[in-house]
């Protein structure tokens, strides 16, 4: 047994802060001088240093001073082969896909290109503090193979799968339902459950899927009910109109995926901007999940996700937050939190009734406010719950896999350090309140420069500089 330990200031979550309105700090756990003890990358003890250290006198201890250590960030929705085209100019979703995305993703049929792109993808991910992602690959199996091989080399907990699309893209980019079924079956066999790799059946979106492709997805899900399902839903109004024209027997976007038996636990629909109340209710009852992608939704002009509606206790949705990079023009989940906060504020300009008193809904407006507790829960334990991975990752519970990030609250844009000195007077946080305030500074004023180190399965995987 090789026992190691990390000593430092820790903050993680044990519950959902939206369940503790007005007392959100009760969802968090904080040790100003904590010790995380690991055996082969798995957490065996966690607590105050003075309570835990004596039980592990022989542990090799790494001290991370002047950092706040939080669980690794979870990106619920991201596109590997868009790494080079993030931030592409000038279009909304459908023309953006045609002009920028499909041509770039086609390059990932070439193994050397896919390998370089995938390696860079993981480098940028770890430099942003993200240790788990649910990722789209492309319609070539080569891209998916390279993804799982690279993730395994880095020992990262990931979810991905071959992306299926058989219409509304250039001919050479499409896969037939038969190819999609056969290639997916081979990839599932080869990669699912191997190391930390997990497989998602991945129809790109209903706008790119014939009934036969969705039938192939259903067959895969029937044959492998333990798998994840990852797709897009209700991102952009033109897309939604297109989906309803193609699937004219369905009343709404979700109805298409329901018709093919795909909606249930471990289903994720990315974006979910324009879902109606009934779709939200059905997703909630099914135990399915959506991803809030504010950076992308703003960048592509898709719309404002209704966070306060998704967190309504009467029909609470499972949720992840995601970059949707390259629709999102950033890799960092800290930028996702920043834009998520702003989307909540924008929604509240209507919900506070100041524009039209008939639109006032103060309860929903309160749930739209992305406090620092709600924010960091959403990209750690909440993200793990959204992906049904909270038995393995998301916080520092004993038995979980040790993925974590050491944040330097003074590092980031030049203005950050002086800003933060208002809070903890430049010193390490002694209380949960101080630590939370520093984290709020990081999410609103910082960026990936605040990520000093990223650890995967108990080992350093990234060090800044």
Tell me whether residue 231 or residue 454 sits nearer to ligand GUN (CB atom): 231
Instruction: Based on the shown chain and the rule CB under 5 A, indicate whether residue 72 belongs to the binding site for Zn ion.
Output: no
Can you give 365-415 as a three-state secondary structure string?
A: HHHHCCCHHHHHHHCCHHHHHHCCCCCCCCCCCCCCECCEEEECCCCCCCC
Sheet of 404-407, strands arranged across: 42-48, 28-39, 3-13, 60-71, 404-407, 451-456, 459-463
Q: Which of 270, 394, 412, 441 binds Zn ion (CB under 5 A)?
A: 270
Instruction: Please check whether residue 280 is in contact with residue 318, taking contact to mean a CB–CB distance below 8 angstroms.
Output: no
Stretch of 93-101, 174-182, 255-263, 414-422 lying at the interface with ligand GUN (CB under 6 A): 93-101
Structure tokens at 267: 């289903």
Q: Which of 30, 100, 205, 388 binds ligand GUN (CB under 6 A)?
A: 205
Structure tokens at 276: 């109606």
Beta bridge partners of 405: 70, 454
Q: Which residue is nearest to Zn ion (CB)?
A: 324
C-alpha to C-alpha distance for 339 and 411, rounded to whole angstroms: 20
Stretch of 92-100, 172-180, 262-270, 359-367 lying at the interface with Zn ion (CB under 5 A): 262-270
What pairing do the DSSP bridges indicate for beta strands 60-71 and 197-203? unpaired
Residue 97 interacting partner from Zn ion, ligand GUN, none (CB closer than 5 to 8 Å by kind): ligand GUN
Positions in 227-266 near ligand GUN (CB under 6 A): 232, 235
Tell me whether residue 162 or residue 445 sits nearer to ligand GUN (CB atom): 162
Q: Which of 28, 43, 78, 101 binds ligand GUN (CB under 6 A)?
A: 101
Tell me whether residue 205 or residue 260 sits nearer to ligand GUN (CB atom): 205
Of the candidates 235, 372, 208, 240, which has an alpha carbon nearest to the alpha carbon of residue 298?
235
Under rule CB under 6 A, how many of the chain's residues touch ligand GUN?
A: 11
Structure tokens at 132: 């788990």
Residue 205 interacting partner from Zn ion, ligand GUN, none (CB closer than 5 to 8 Å by kind): ligand GUN
Positions in 313-332 near Zn ion (CB under 5 A): 324
C-alpha to C-alpha distance for 113 and 428, rounded to whole angstroms: 44
Tell me whether residue 239 or residue 452 sits nearer to ligand GUN (CB atom): 239
C-alpha to C-alpha distance for 346 and 246, rounded to whole angstroms: 33
Instruction: Based on the shown chain and the rule CB under 6 A, indicate whether residue 453 belongs to the binding site for ligand GUN.
Output: no
Please report, as ranges, the residues that interact with ligand GUN according to CB under 6 A: 79, 93, 97, 101, 204-205, 232, 235, 296, 324, 327
């Amino acid at each position: 047994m090789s026992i190691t330990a990390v000593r430092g200031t820790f903050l993680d979550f044990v519950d959902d802060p939206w369940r503790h309105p007005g007392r959100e700090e009760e969802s968090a756990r904080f040790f100003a001088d904590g010790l995380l003890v690991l055996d082969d990358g798995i957490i065996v003890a966690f607590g105050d240093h003075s309570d835990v250290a004596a039980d592990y006198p022989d542990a090799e201890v790494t001290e991370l001073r002047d950092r706040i250590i939080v669980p690794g960030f979870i990106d619920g929705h991201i596109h590997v082969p868009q790494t080079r085209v993030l931030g592409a100019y000038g279009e909304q979703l459908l023309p953006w896909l045609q002009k920028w995305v499909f041509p770039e993703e086609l390059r990932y049929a070439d193994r050397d290109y896919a390998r370089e792109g995938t390696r860079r993808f993981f480098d940028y991910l770890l430099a942003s503090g993200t240790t788990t992602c649910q990722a789209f690959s492309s319609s070539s199996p080569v891209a998916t193979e390279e993804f799982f091989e690279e993730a395994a080399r880095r020992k990262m907990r990931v979810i991905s799968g071959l992306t299926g699309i058989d219409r509304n893209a250039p001919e050479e980019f499409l896969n037939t339902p038969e190819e999609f079924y056969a290639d997916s079956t081979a990839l599932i066999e080869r990669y699912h459950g191997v190391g930390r790799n997990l497989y998602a059946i991945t129809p790109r979106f209903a706008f790119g899927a014939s009934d036969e492709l969705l039938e192939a997805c259903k067959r895969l899900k029937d044959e492998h009910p333990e798998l994840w399902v990852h797709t897009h839903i209700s991102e952009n109004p033109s897309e939604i109109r297109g989906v309803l024209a193609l699937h004219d027997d369905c009343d709404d976007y979700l109805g298409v995926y329901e018709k093919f038996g795909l909606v249930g636990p471990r289903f994720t629909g990315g974006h979910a901007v324009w879902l109606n109340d009934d779709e939200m209710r059905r997703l909630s009852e099914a135990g399915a999940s959506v991803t809030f992608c504010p950076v992308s939704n703003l960048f592509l002009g898709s719309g404002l996700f209704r966070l306060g509606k998704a967190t309504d206790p009467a029909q609470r949705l499972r949720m992840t937050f995601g970059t949707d990079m390259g629709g999102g023009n950033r890799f960092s989940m800290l930028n996702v939190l920043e834009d998520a906060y702003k989307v909540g504020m924008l929604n509240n300009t209507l919900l506070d009734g100041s524009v039209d008193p008939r639109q006032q809904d103060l309860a929903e407006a309160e749930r739209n406010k992305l406090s620092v507790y709600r924010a960091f829960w959403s990209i750690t334990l909440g993200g793990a719950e959204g992906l049904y991975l909270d038995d393995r990752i998301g916080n520092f519970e004993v038995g979980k896999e040790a993925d974590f990030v050491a944040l330097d609250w003074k590092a980031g844009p030049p203005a950050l350090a002086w800003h933060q000195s208002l809070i903890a007077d430049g010193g390490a946080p002694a209380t949960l309140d101080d630590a939370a305030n520093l984290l709020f500074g990081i999410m609103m004023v910082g960026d990936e420069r605040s990520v000093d180190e990223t650890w995967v399965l108990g080992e350093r995987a990234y060090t800044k500089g």
